[in-house]
Amino acid sequence: MGLTAQSSGVNLLRESFNIDGDKNNPVVALAGNPNTGKSTVFNGLTGLKQHTGNWPGKTVTQAKGYYTYLSQEYTVVDLPGTYSLLASSIEEQIARDFICFAQPEVTVVIADATNLERNLNLLLQVTELSERVVLCLNLMDEAERKNIKIDLNGLATDLQVPIVPTIARDEKGLSDLKKVIDKIVNQEVQLDPIKIKYSSKIEEKVEKIVPELNKQFPNLRKNINIRWLALRLLEGDRTIFETLEECYDVNLKNKKVVERRQ
Amino acid sequence: MKLTELPLKKIGEVVDIMADPNKKRRLLDLGLTEGTEVIPKRRSPSGDPTAFLIRGTIIALRSEETDLIEVEKK
Amino acid sequence: MSRQQQSTIFSKIDNLDINHEQIRDEMVKDIYDTAEEIAERNIASSEVEKESWGEKFDTLLTSKCLGFPMMLLMLGIVFWVTIVGANYPSAMLAKFLFWIEGHLSNLFVALQAPEWLHGMLIKGVYRTLAWVISVMLPPMAIFFPIFTLLEDLGLLPRVAFNLDNFFKKAGGQW
C-alpha cells in the first residue's frame, strides 16, 4: 500500500473533514502563521480550481483546491493560519485535527522568511504529528531586502525537512514545491524530521506513558503518533480520547452507510 | 512591573504570566514565554490596545491582558 | 478504546504525580527555545534598526492627534470617490438602459401587444430593474474593490487598532 490514500479508513476520515475521499487524490495541507502569504501560495498552486466552504460544524472558512503535476491530480487544503497547534482556539484545533486525523500525504508549512523563529515554532509542532513535512520559505524577496541571510543548507540539516524558497507573489519557486511534494508522495525521499527534545523531566514521563499506551491500544500506532498522544495526556488533555473516538466513530458510521449502499 | 506600565520603545523581559490556565496558554502561544523580550511599539490613540514587538512580529494586546504579564525592564 | 482502558491510562498518569499546567508551560517554552536556537544558528541579519517607510506610516496612522483625522479622511475619500465617481457610470448606464427601453416599447407597439402587457413588462419590470441596476451597480463596483484594496494594504487592521477601545466599551454595555 503506497501513500496514495488507498486505505478506505483514511478516505472516510477525510470525508468527515469535507475532503473528497472518493477522488483518491494525494492531499497536500498548507499550514502556516497568519500573514506569511499562505493564501498566495494556495492561489499560486491551484489557480482557479478552488472551492470555499466551511469546516464541518465550524464557522471557519475552508478553502480547498486542485492542481495537476505530472498527470497526477492533487487536492490542496488551506488550513487556518495559526501560530501554534496547541488547540487553544478553534482554528488551531482544526489545523491540528486535520494533520493528525486526515493524515495529509504532505503538509507544507509556509513560513515568513523575514521572521523565521516564530514560524519554526509551528513547524516543530507539525513534525510532532507528521513525518511528511516540507518547509516553504516564502517572502524571500523581502528577506533579501531586509538583509536577512538564511543558511538554507544549515537549516535543512538542522530540521531534516526539504526546504523550498519561494516568492509566491511572483510565482517563483512554486514548481520546485510541486516537485518536492511529488517526490514525497511517490516515496522517493524518506523523511525523518527533527523532533523537539523536551526537558529530561518531561521526556522521562513520556517514556513511561508510551509503553502503556502501546499495551492498551496496540492498533492505535497505525493511526496516530503515540509520542504525541502521550505528550497531550501529560499536559492534562483528558478530552483527547473523546476526540479520537469521535473521529474513529464517524469513520465507523460512514463505513456502515457505505456498506448499506453497496 | 506590569507590561502595561512598560514605557513605549523600552525593552522588557517576561518574568511571569499570572492568568488562569486558558488565558496563560494563549499568551504563551503568542511566544510570551519566560525570558522573551517585548517592546511596546505604539499605543492606540484611544489609549488601549498597545502594539508590541514579540519575537519579530507586531501583536496588539489589550490592557486586560498586559496587566497579567509581569516584566522586568532592561 | 473502552472506558476501562482509558481509565487505566489515566490512573497511570495520575500516579506520575504531575502538575499538568507546569508541564504545559514548560513544553511551550521548550518548543520556542528550540525554534530560537535553530533560527539563531542559521540566520545572519545585518539588522540596522531604522524605522522603515511602513513603520513611519504606522506611527502616523495611530498617532494621538493624527490617527482619527487620518482615518476619517480616508473613509471620507472612499465615500466621496464612491458617490461622486458612481454618478458618471450611473448616468451612462441609465441612458443606455432607457435607450433599450425605448426600443423595447417600439417593439411592443410593432407587435401590437396589449397596453397592459406593455405596462407590466416594460414600465413595471424592466424600468424598475433598469433603475436598480443603474443606481446600485456603479457604487458597489467602486466601493467594494476600494475596500478590498484597503484591507490588503493593511489599513483596516490599523483602524481596528484605533477603534478597539470604543468597540469594547460599546460591547461592555450589553
Q: Is the ipTM of this complex over 0.95?
A: no
Q: Is the pLDDT at B29 greater than 90, yes or no?
A: no
Least CB–CB distance from C67: residue in B45, B48, B55: B45
Q: Is the pLDDT of residue C75 over 70?
A: yes
Greater confidence, B64 or A259? B64
Given this model, what pLDDT does residue A9 score? Answer: 67
Closest residue in A to C47 (Cα–Cα)? A147
Q: What is the pLDDT of residue A183?
A: 94
The answer to whether residues C78 and C119 belong to one domain is: yes
Do C111 and C157 fall into the same domain? yes
The structural domains of chain B, with segments of one domain joined by +, span: 3-73
The whole domain housing C75 covers: 66-163
Q: Region B18-46: what's the mean pLDDT?
A: 88
What cell does A171 get?
510565482
Summarised one tens digit per residue, pLDDT across range C94-118 is 999 999 999 999 999 999 988 899 9
Q: Is the pLDDT of residue C5 over 80?
A: no
Residue ranges covered by each domain of chain A: 8-185, 200-261
CATH architecture of the domain with range A8-185: 3-Layer(aba) Sandwich (3.40)
Could you tell me if C101 and C19 lie in one domain?
A: no
Task: Classify residue C34: in a domain, yes or no.
Answer: yes
Measure A53 CA to nearest chain C CA, in Å: 20
Touching subunits of A (3+ CB pairs, under 8 Å) are B, C
* C-alpha–C-alpha distance, residues C161 and B44, integer Å: 6
Amino acid at B15: V
Report the pLDDT value the prediction gives residue A2, as an integer from 0 to 100. Answer: 42
Q: Has residue C59 been placed in a domain?
A: no
List, for residues C125-146, the tens digit of each pLDDT value: 999 999 999 999 999 999 999 9
- Cβ-Cβ contacts under 8 Å for B32 (sequence gap 6 or more): B14, B17, B38, B54, B69
C45 touching A, CB under 8 A? yes
**Interchain contact B25–A (C-beta under 8 A):** yes
The fraction of chain C above a pLDDT of 70, given in percent, is 94
Residues C80 and C156 in one domain: yes
Q: Are residues C25 and C93 in the same domain?
A: no
Contact C86, C139 (CB under 8 A): yes
Domain count, chain C: 2
Per-residue model confidence (pLDDT) at position A214: 86
Supply A63's cell numbers: 478553502
Residue C1 is predicted with a pLDDT of: 63
Q: Which of C2, C3, C13 to mutate to test the interface with A (most CBs of A within 10 A)?
A: C13
Average pLDDT score over chain C: 86
* Domain B3-73 class, CATH top level: mainly beta
Query: Is A118 in CB contact (< 8 Å) with chain C?
Result: yes
Residues C112 and C30 in one domain: no
A168 burial class (0-12, 13-18, 19+ CB within 10 angstroms)? buried
Q: In angstroms, rounded to a whole number, what is the distance separating the alpha carbons of residues B10 and A253?
A: 58
Looking at the structure, tell me whether residues C73 and C11 fall in a common domain. no
Task: Say if the Cβ atoms of C1 and A120 lie within 8 Å.
Answer: no
Question: Is A86 within 8 Å of B57 when comparing Cβ atoms?
Answer: no
Mean pLDDT of chain B: 89
**How are beta strands A50-54 and A61-69 bridged, if at all?**
antiparallel
Q: Sort C51 into a burial class: Cβ within 10 Å, 0-12 / 13-18 / 19+.
A: exposed
Nearest to B56 among A88, A89, A118 (CB): A118
pLDDT at C81: 93
**N- to C-terminal Cα separation, chain C:** 45
How many CB pairs below 8 Å do chains A and C form together? 102
Tens digit of each residue's pLDDT, chain A (262 residues): 344 444 556 777 787 788 876 678 899 999 999 888 898 999 999 987 788 888 887 888 888 899 999 999 999 999 999 988 887 788 888 899 899 888 899 999 999 998 888 899 999 999 998 889 999 999 999 888 888 889 999 999 999 999 999 998 898 999 999 999 999 999 888 888 988 889 888 898 888 888 888 888 877 777 778 888 889 888 887 778 877 777 666 555 555 544 554 4
Are residues C93 and C9 located together in one domain of the fold? no
Q: What pLDDT is attached to residue A3?
A: 44
- The pLDDT tens digits for A106-165 are 999 999 998 888 899 999 999 998 889 999 999 999 888 888 889 999 999 999 999 999
Do residues C73 and C138 share a domain? yes
